[in-house]
Amino acid sequence: MSSAMASQILPTSAKQVLTGGGKTTDRKEDQLNDNIKEVNPESRITSDYGVKQTNTDDWLRITRDDQIGPMLLEDPFGREKIHRFDHERIPERVVHARGTGVFGTFKLHTPIPEYTKAGILTDTSRETPMFVRFSTVLGSRGSADTVRDVRGFALKFYTDEGNWDIVGNNIPVFFIQDAMKFPDVIHAGKPEPHNEVPQAQSAHNNFWDFQYMHPEATHMFHWTMSDRAIPRSYRMMQGFGVNTFTLQNDKGERFFVKFHYTPTLGVHSLVWDEALKLAGQDPDFHRKDLMEAIDHGMFPKYKFGIQVIPESGEHDFDFDILDATKVWPEDLIPVRYIGEFELNRNVDEFFTETEQVAFCTSHIVPGIGFSDDPLLQGRNFSYQDTQITRLGVNWEELPINRPVCPVLNHNRDGAMKHTITKGTVNYWPNRHQAVPPATKEEGGYVEYAAKVAGLKQRTKSAKFRDHHSQAQLFVNSLTQVERNHMINAFGFELDHCDDPIVYERLTQRLAEVDLSLAQSVAQMVGGPVPEKEGRPNHGRKTKGISQFDFVPEKPTIATRRIAILIADGYDAASFNTVKAAIKAAGALPFVIGPRRSEIYPAGWDKKPGNGVVPDHHLEGQRSTMFDALYVCGGVDASAALAKSGRAMHWIREAFGHLKAIAATSEAVDVVEKAIALPQVSVSQGDVHESYGVVTLRHVRASSLKEAVDFAKDSKGFLEQFFYGLSQHRCWAREMDGLNTQV
Ligand code: HDE
């Protein structure tokens, strides 16, 4: 095999080995590289114990006169191959089984020594390597990415003082206040016990039965019925540590803290119909989206922020700050952004990195501590325990989990121990003074000396019993668009419950939060429509709840996927201009034709090289996989597209999913045929815009001069098209009821 051939088929890491590899600026990457098996043109298949094999296809067997005889148990290679295969699977995570991971780097820009002595939060010269795993909660490892669910957003910082994990979600609150309820909420959400239905869905009797029976879930289930539970991309999703942690400074003072991470691309979601379709059309949609962006060098970035409350302020609020079913409203406690992380490297191997990565909320570093948040306290027990079941007791020696700082102690043995510790003693204290604990001055972790006194009992403080105020705060803070989506989400979920007691009671619970919401849902799903509010709505709102609060300051279409529809006879000038402009704006153009072989422009011979080979064909992909659509003109191309039911469906569906659509010359007729465009609302020269559909009718570029003219004309056209896309979706289309043609 030539090295050129090898570099085509080998994974990135192996390519690095072939091309010399070398040290990077990332300590974790260097450490991982030491574990990478070298693959080079001289590599040959060996058994696991190192013997080169000549045949890996035929089991050793008896043959006679070209007749096949019995296989021999003796064959060590045959047995090794099958035995290894039989044991390839490890238990999937009991929750968050479906996920994807990437590497990244954290950089601090604003040190906070006033709150903490943690090096990662005080030293701006550091670049801390990270591993991040995104996940859904309920589905199995093979389930679809776009289902309605909470998303896990777990961070592992490989700091100089040890690993620090924030095992967060994309929703800032949780269903339960006490870890002891976790098996119940998860059992209720997972497939039902009698038939293992449904997969990766909360739309079933048991889930909603539990939500009603367990009122502390009220706030959280409003979040999961909002658009937060159907993100457009992991790159456009917030993350939250959810639990209340503490920070401790050099003076020994302690502060309560919540961690936030906010994407620079804004917070955006799919629309529900699109999410449903994608679950079948491209179950890997989110993981592919993330890998694609990183492969293109479009590294997702997130601002890292903190909300801080001094220890003395613990009881200053009408909610308990240790209650994970409550947010700390941003109007009261603003988020202060102190750093940024970017995700910049895809894994080399999914199993050894993403599947074997293991997070623990209990993994904190000096300067960071726990609080008495009862959910956090339980989590601190659970994660270490689950990793032992999933990966074995030596899971922290696995390359992906290993800290970048020295690890040395007297823990020993257990299955699959890798490291070899020299020395004659494995206990402390010992006569050699070998491996003593560290002092504070040496960077040892010193627990905060908290005073604790009280009664031992199974109860929580009174503020923990208010389950409605923040649910109201959430609903009140949504925009009309978001509220409508939430009503439809409740409608969908409760429609999948066939036990009337489940959906009837749930709508009664909704009336304790917002009467008109409850009425709308009850009308959709059946059962008595509540007439009276269960309790008065306090009417308060706060920022940081609505996704519209996170629109990037400067409109951007960076990283967005734009489909360009063409057919034979397309107009090359407009095609080239628009495609180049999309790239220049940092977005990704994808050419879609009736076939994935060369498509020829108007006025050119159908000779290889004169046209363009599309990235996909109309049947191979769907509009759901793109953020916007440009339909390119040309007489023959437009006639062909207008005749294609699938092309019509692409346009209609993109319109129904509120996406920006643009068309030039004859393609304007194609778009108008597909969708009943309402009256043109904005018209600027030849450019017309109506409900996010931007058209430029008079383009003809049969000559160079005309092509240049088009490039000039297209300025307003492209600006409007791109602006529409930067707003993510055309909400006016939905508000005015025009999106029904999906
Ligand atoms: Fe988890 N959770 N969890 N969880 N969780 C796990 O640990 C658990 C909770 C979260 O990408 C498990 O390694 C308990 C809240 C994420 O590998 C397990 C309680 C939040 C991930 C576990 C909670 C999370 C997990 C399963 C209630 C948001 C995926 C596999 C006290 C802040 C991490 C594993 C990854 C995974 C237990 C509640 C987030 C069983 C007992 C609240 C992102 O240990």
Task: Encode pLDDT of 133-192 as tens digits.
Answer: 999 999 999 999 999 999 999 999 999 999 999 999 999 999 999 999 999 999 999 999
pLDDT digits (tens, 9 = 90+) for 443-473: 999 999 999 999 999 999 999 999 999 999 9
Question: How far apart, in Å, do the first and last CA atoms of the chain sit?
Answer: 50
Q: What pLDDT is stored for residue 19 in this prediction?
A: 40
Distance CA 600, CA 13 (A): 39
Task: Return the amino acid letter for 389.
Answer: T
Q: Which residues pair with 369 in a beta bridge?
A: 246
Residue type for position 30: D
Q: Higher pLDDT residue, 741 or 394? A: 394
- Antiparallel, parallel or unpaired: β 628-631 and 561-565: parallel
pLDDT digits (tens, 9 = 90+) for 186-209: 999 999 999 999 999 999 999 999
Tokens standing for residue 433:
């003074």
Q: Which of 542, 582, 575 is nearest to 559 (CA)?
A: 582
CA 154 to chain CA centroid, nearest Å: 10
Find out whether the beta carbon of 269 lies less than 6 Å from any atom of ligand 1: no
736: which DSSP letter?
T
Tens digit of pLDDT for each residue in 227-270?
999 999 999 999 999 999 999 999 999 999 999 999 999 999 99
Structure tokens at 440: 């504070």
Burial 44-80 (b: 16+ CB within 10 A, else e): eeeeeeeeeeeeeeeeeeeeeeeeeeeeeeeeebbee
Joined tokens for residue 57: 């296809």
> Which residues, in sequence order, are CB contacts of 614 under 8 Å at separation 6+?
566, 591, 592, 593, 595, 596, 599
Is it the case that residue 557 has pLDDT exceeding 50? yes
**DSSP, res 416:** T
pLDDT band per the 50, 70, 90 thresholds, residue 697: confident
Q: Quick one: tokens of 244?
A: 């209340």
Q: Is 383 annotated as a binding-site member?
A: yes
> What are the structural domain ranges in the chain?
3-86, 99-183+221-397, 477-536, 561-735
* pTM, full prediction: 0.95
For residues 510-525, average pLDDT: 97
Q: Is 167 a pocket residue for ligand 1 (Cβ < 6 Å)?
A: yes
The closest-lying atom of ligand 1 relative to the alpha carbon of residue 174 is: 42
Q: Which atom of ligand 1 is nearest to the CA of 378?
A: 31
Supply the DSSP symbol for 69.
E
What dotted CATH number matches 477-536? 1.20.1370.20
Closest CA to 342 of 587, 625, 26: 26
Residue bearing the CA closest to ligand 1, atom 9: 379
Q: Are 222 and 474 in contact (CB under 8 A)?
A: yes
Task: Look at residues 513, 433, 504 and name the one whose alpha carbon lies nearest to residue 470.
Answer: 513
Quick one: which H or E segment has residue 273?
A: helix 272-281
As given in the structure block, the two tokens for residue 108 are 């601090």
In whole angstroms, give the CA distance from residue 653 to residue 651.
Answer: 5
User: What are the counts of helices (DSSP H) followed by strands (DSSP E) for the chain?
Assistant: 20, 20
Which residues are the active-site residues?
96, 169
Q: Is the CB of 254 under 6 A from ligand 1?
A: no
Q: In angstroms, what is the span from residue 383 Cα to ligand 1's centroid?
A: 7
Cα 306 to ligand 1 centroid, rounded to whole Å: 21
Ligand 1 contacts CB of residue 363 (under 6 A): no
**Helical (H) or strand (E) element with 99:** strand 99-108
Among 90, 93, 153, 174, residue to substitute to test ligand 1 (most atoms within 8 Å of Cβ): 93
- pLDDT confidence of 5, banded at 50, 70, 90? very low
Output the residue whose Cα is nearest ligand 1's atom 19.
379
Ligand 1 close to Cβ of residue 98 (< 6 A): no
- Residue bearing tokens 């057919």: 567
How many angstroms does the Cα of residue 282 sit away from the middle of ligand 1?
26
The residue nearest atom 43 of ligand 1, judged by CA position, is 152
Q: How far is CA 243 from the centre of its chain?
A: 19
Ligand 1 atom nearest residue 135's Cα: 11
358 lines ligand 1 (CB under 6 A): yes
Of 109, 117, 356, 402, residue with least CA distance to 248: 117
Q: Which DSSP state fits 351?
A: I
**Better pLDDT: 683 or 582:** 582
Q: Which CATH architecture has domain 561-735?
A: 3-Layer(aba) Sandwich (3.40)
- Alpha carbon of 211 to ligand 1 centroid (Å): 19
| Residue-wise burial string across 219-234, b where 16 or more C-beta atoms lie within 10 A, e elsewhere | bbbbbbbbbbbbbbbb
CA of 385 to the centre of ligand 1 (A): 11
Q: Provide CB contacts within 8 A for 141, sequence distance 6+.
A: 92, 93, 97, 98
pLDDT band at residue 739 under the 50/70/90 scheme? confident
Question: Is the CB of residue 230 below 6 angstroms from any atom belonging to ligand 1?
Answer: no
93 within ligand 1 shell (Cβ under 6 A): yes
Ligand 1 touching residue 94 (CB < 6 A) = yes
CB-ligand 1 contact for 256 (6 Å cutoff): no
- State which ligand 1 atom lies nearest to the alpha carbon of 182: 27
| CB of 186 sitting under 6 A from ligand 1 | no
CA distance 690 to 677: 7
Mutate which of 150, 379, 387 for ligand 1 pocket (most atoms within 8 A of beta carbon): 379
Which residue's CA lies nearest to atom 22 of ligand 1?
383
Whose CA is closest to 139, among 128, 130, 150, 131? 150
What is the per-residue DSSP string for 516-563? Answer: HHHHHHHHHH-SPPP-S-SS-------TTSSGGGG--SS---TT-EEE
Q: Which atom of ligand 1 is nearest to the CA of 154?
A: 43
Measuring CA to CA, which residue among 168, 169, 124, 178 is closest to residue 150?
A: 169
Burial of 561 (0-12, 13-18, 19+ CB in 10 A): middle
Using the mean position of ligand 1's atoms as its centre, give its distance from the Cα of residue 382 in Å.
Answer: 8
Averaged over 633-654, what is the pLDDT? 97
CB of 198 sitting under 6 A from ligand 1: no
Does domain 99-183+221-397 correspond to CATH entry 2.40.180.10?
Answer: yes
CA of 160 to the centre of ligand 1 (A): 25
Would you say the CB of residue 402 lies under 6 angstroms from ligand 1? no
The answer to whether 546 and 518 are in contact (CB under 8 A) is no
Strand 336-346 versus strand 301-310 pairing type: antiparallel
Q: How confident is the model at residue 680 (pLDDT cuts 50, 70, 90)?
A: low
Cβ(56)–Cβ(45) under 8 Å?
yes
Query: How many angstroms is it from 503 CA to the middle of ligand 1?
Result: 28
Nearest CA to 699 out of 612, 626, 630 is that of 630
Hey, whose CA ends up nearest to atom 29 of ligand 1? Answer: 96
Please give the structure tokens belonging to residue 70.
């019995």
* Best probe residue, ligand 1, of 351, 382, 400 (max atoms within 8 Å of C-beta): 382
Q: Hey, what are 243's tokens?
A: 């639990």
Q: Return the closest-CA partner of residue 469 out of 215, 225, 181.
A: 215
State the pLDDT confidence band at 742, using cuts at 50, 70 and 90.
low
For residue 445, give the 3-state DSSP assignment. coil
Instruction: Compute the average pLDDT of residues 347-370.
Output: 98
For 591, other C-beta atoms within 10 Å of its C-beta total 21
CA 530, CA 512: separation in Å to the nearest integer? 10
Q: What is the DSSP string of 678-726?
A: ----EEETTEEEETTEEEE-----SSHHHHHHHHHHHHHHHHHHHHHHH
Out of 136, 287, 359, mutate this one to test ligand 1's pocket (max ligand atoms within 8 Å of CB): namely 359
pLDDT band at 687 (very low <50, low <70, confident <90, very high): confident
Token pair 């994974």 is found at: 11
- Ligand 1 centroid to Cα of residue 419, in Å, is 28
Give the C-alpha separation, 468 to 220, whole Å.
11
Percent residues over pLDDT 90 in the chain: 90
Which ligand 1 atom lies nearest to the CA of residue 379?
31
